[in-house]
Chains A and B, each alone.
Chain A
Amino acid sequence: MHQNTTSYALRNDRFDRSLPLVLVLIGFALTFVLEGYQLLQATNILAFSIAILGLNLLAGYNGQISLGQGAFIAMGGYTTAILMHRFGVPFWLAVPASGFTSMLLGYLIAIPAVRLELLYLALATFSLAVALPQVVKNKLLSPWTGGVEGLSIPRPPAWESLGLNLDQTIYLYALLVAIVMFALIRNLVQGRIGRALQAIKDQPVAAETMAIDTRFYKRATFAISSFLTGIGGGIGAVATGFVSADSYNFFISITLLVGAVIGCFRSIFGALFGAAFIVLLPMYLEKVGQGVAWAAFGAACVFTVWVMPEGLAGLVASIRARLQRTGGTNETSSAPLPSVQRESA
């Protein structure tokens, strides 16, 4: 695994440069193509993609894991809800603010968490995910969180000067935030910090001897990841218009993990694939019956790790590599595809 950890985002070629542009154009176009419920789902996909991006950074680039990302979704959602409901803060300000409160929470959790081994980190965060609704329902917090009843969020005014209705406004806002976040994280992982994070993941001891402050970087990654997930939670709350303890249950944490796995942990745009998967699949499968989506998620996880450890983004990359090869010189055609090799460590 150490020989071919070159991730897709690190490779800078024409495809990588044109893909974001195409996605952004499609994103803007969708503002006027979709309507009503579809637009809400599209907003949810964007919100989840930002949250999954955070998990990708944490797990894919830095080799940590969190099965309790729901905590940060909840933190983001509740911050947005409380700011809008109780203080009348406009939504475009409440969402970034919820990123920062999540970041603070993430940093506090990271102080003990980065000391744990991967398995125990998984265990602790898994328990956090299960206990989360009880934490949120806590009587001490209920004057703020609305306790068991939850908290409704006032509908924000639409950006009418741009000729948009409310659904379009929220979607467009989510799109703008997503573009900024994806651009930031893409730059982050391509630069010096990104290499430090990968070094910590692949060779922690070597990284330490090269004067990389492992503990600092791990905490920082945890905090940034929480920031992103909190932003996602905030946007999700604005789109739904309601937050309650039961909407931040165990399943939301695991669903995020599924999205990250499906999209490919070590990919920036994989987060978008993964988010689309976890939002759209249940929509169709829940009609078949309760639990079908969940079983499909489980099967998809096992299947992904089994046959394409690099996820959907890896599949796209390998198809791309194949296409490029047939178009280019034949010299490299005998080389094995790096993206389809099994991971082993």
Chain B
Amino acid sequence: MSGLAVGGVYASLALALVMIYQTTTLVNFAQGEIAMASTFLAWVLIGHGLPYWLAFALTLVISFVVGFLVEKYLMRRFQKAALHSVLIVMIGLMMFINGGIGVIFGYEVKNFDSPFAGLRLAGGLVSPHEAGIALVTLCVMSLVFAFFRFTRVGLAMKGAAVNPLSASFVGINVSVMLSLGWGLAAMIGAVSGILSAPIVYLDPNMMLNVIIYAFAGALLGGISSAVGAVVGGLLIGVAENLAGTYVVGTDMKLVFVLAVIIGVLLIKPNGLFGQTVVARV
């Protein structure tokens, strides 16, 4: 049960990764650190006396804007660069955010209170925070799917991702859509960061392990599929918990996840729900 809740965190970060992969066919290595920065923002806002949910909403909005701007003013410059260069830029961005937050807030571990502490559900079988995570994740997922299914902007984003050229012919501003993708990814990542903070505690390296689980989730579900990311993230959460408890021990969880990643890449690189992409030479 708690695996499912933690899986929700992985699923939302995996969803953020897929969001960027769909529009740019890149995996954003800095996604975890962006989420970490958002979490620090939420922590500061709450520290200034804002009510939790107001801080939550404000963080999401700011994350969206920052993600949008990072794409527009930084990543855009490397759009046509070699994949090597783009990877390095993303790793650089990751280091920069990690170090920058470390400079500002220090590396000592901070507590991040859960807003669900007062709840009691299922007769105490589930911890309140875990139930809260599951609930929030479910809401976010539904909103994301509704956004892509029912809104014009969502449809335009899908169009821009599937066929940028045709999309631009029918009047979609493809470059704005790319920035939007980054903005949304940063927003969804922020949710996962804020939700995982009460579990992994708040420090600049908090997302380092979470992002690996999200990679595994996204790959398992198929990195080109949003549904896949959610299912994959949940599966990884449960599997990690079970394997940690019964098979490999808690101190080897990352090794287990590494094995999942390599296994998926070798056996079924497109994951459970992904589409096979055929490259033309």
| A240 close to chain B: CB less than 8 A | no
Given A134-B251, A291-B100, decide whether A344 and B80 contact each other with a Cβ distance below 8 A: yes
| A294 close to chain B: CB less than 8 A | yes
Contact with B83, one of A118, A139, A291 (Cβ below 8 angstroms): A118
In the bound assembly, the distance between CA atoms of A258 and B78 in angstroms comes to 18
| B219 close to chain A: CB less than 8 A | yes
Cβ–Cβ contact B265 & A298, under 8 A: no
| B89 close to chain A: CB less than 8 A | yes
Cβ–Cβ contact B102 & A130, under 8 A: no
| A93 close to chain B: CB less than 8 A | no
Q: Which of A1-34 contact B (CB under 8 A)?
A: 1
Q: Which of A82-121 contact B (CB under 8 A)?
A: 112, 115-116, 118-120
In the bound assembly, the distance between CA atoms of A295 and B261 in angstroms comes to 28
Cβ–Cβ contact B107 & A291, under 8 A: yes
| A257 close to chain B: CB less than 8 A | yes
Can you name the residue of chain B whose Cβ is closest to the Cβ of A344?
B80
| A305 close to chain B: CB less than 8 A | yes
In the bound assembly, the distance between CA atoms of A265 and B84 in angstroms comes to 10
| A122 close to chain B: CB less than 8 A | yes
Q: How far is the CB of B107 from chain A (nearest CB, A)?
A: 6
Q: Which of A287-332 contact B (CB under 8 A)?
A: 289-302, 304-306, 309
| A35 close to chain B: CB less than 8 A | no
| B74 close to chain A: CB less than 8 A | yes
Q: Which of A133-173 contact B (CB under 8 A)?
A: 134-135, 137-139
Cβ–Cβ contact A291 & B103, under 8 A: yes
Q: How far is the CB of B213 from chain A (nearest CB, A)?
A: 10
Among B93, B99, B100: residue with most chain A CB under 10 A: B99
In the bound assembly, the distance between CA atoms of A345 and B252 in angstroms comes to 40
Given A290-B103, A302-B92, decide whether A127 and B258 contact each other with a Cβ distance below 8 A: yes
Cβ–Cβ contact B27 & A309, under 8 A: no
Q: Which of B233-275 contact A (CB under 8 A)?
A: 249, 251-255, 257-258, 261-262, 265-266, 269
| A78 close to chain B: CB less than 8 A | no
In the bound assembly, the distance between CA atoms of A305 and B80 in angstroms comes to 13
Cβ–Cβ contact A250 & B208, under 8 A: yes
Given A301-B91, A302-B89, decide whether A130 and B254 contact each other with a Cβ distance below 8 A: yes
Residues of B within 8 A of A295 (CB): 95-96, 98-100, 102-103
Cβ–Cβ contact B254 & A134, under 8 A: yes
Size of interface on B: residues with Cβ below 8 Å to A: 52
Contact with A299, one of B84, B92, B219, B252 (Cβ below 8 angstroms): B92
Q: How far is the CB of B97 from chain A (nearest CB, A)?
A: 7
Q: Which of A120-134 contact B (CB under 8 A)?
A: 120, 122-124, 126-128, 130-131, 134
Cβ–Cβ contact B265 & A116, under 8 A: yes
Cβ–Cβ contact A289 & B82, under 8 A: no
Contact with B78, one of A1, A122, A126, A305 (Cβ below 8 angstroms): A305
Contact with B96, one of A131, A261, A299 (Cβ below 8 angstroms): A299
Cβ–Cβ contact B80 & A127, under 8 A: no
Contact with B102, one of A131, A291, A345 (Cβ below 8 angstroms): A291
Cβ–Cβ contact A123 & B258, under 8 A: no
Contact with A305, one of B81, B100, B106 (Cβ below 8 angstroms): B81
| A67 close to chain B: CB less than 8 A | yes
Cβ–Cβ contact B261 & A343, under 8 A: no
Residues of A within 8 A of B216 (CB): 127
Residues of B within 8 A of A130 (CB): 208-209, 212, 254, 258
Q: How far is the CB of A260 from chain B (nearest CB, A)?
A: 9
Cβ–Cβ contact B257 & A131, under 8 A: yes
Q: How far is the CB of A178 from chain B (nearest CB, A)?
A: 25
Among A127, A289, A305: residue with most chain B CB under 10 A: A127
Q: Given contacts A59-B84, A298-B92, could you give 20 more A-B pairs where the C-beta distance is less than 8 Å?
A: A1-B82, A120-B269, A123-B219, A131-B255, A205-B281, A254-B91, A261-B92, A289-B103, A291-B101, A295-B95, A295-B98, A297-B96, A298-B95, A298-B97, A301-B89, A305-B78, A305-B89, A306-B77, A344-B82, A345-B82
Residues of chain B having any CB pair with chain A under 8 Å: 25-27, 29, 74, 77-78, 80-85, 87-89, 91-103, 106-107, 204, 208-209, 212, 215-216, 219, 249, 251-255, 257-258, 261-262, 265-266, 269, 281
- Can you list 25 A-B pairs, Cβ within 8 angstroms, ordered by A? A1-B82, A59-B84, A118-B83, A119-B27, A119-B83, A124-B265, A126-B29, A127-B262, A131-B212, A131-B255, A254-B91, A257-B88, A261-B88, A291-B98, A294-B95, A295-B98, A297-B92, A297-B96, A298-B99, A301-B88, A301-B92, A305-B78, A305-B85, A345-B81, A345-B83
10 tightest A-B CB contacts, nearest first: A291-B102, A301-B92, A295-B99, A298-B96, A294-B99, A298-B95, A131-B254, A302-B92, A345-B82, A131-B258
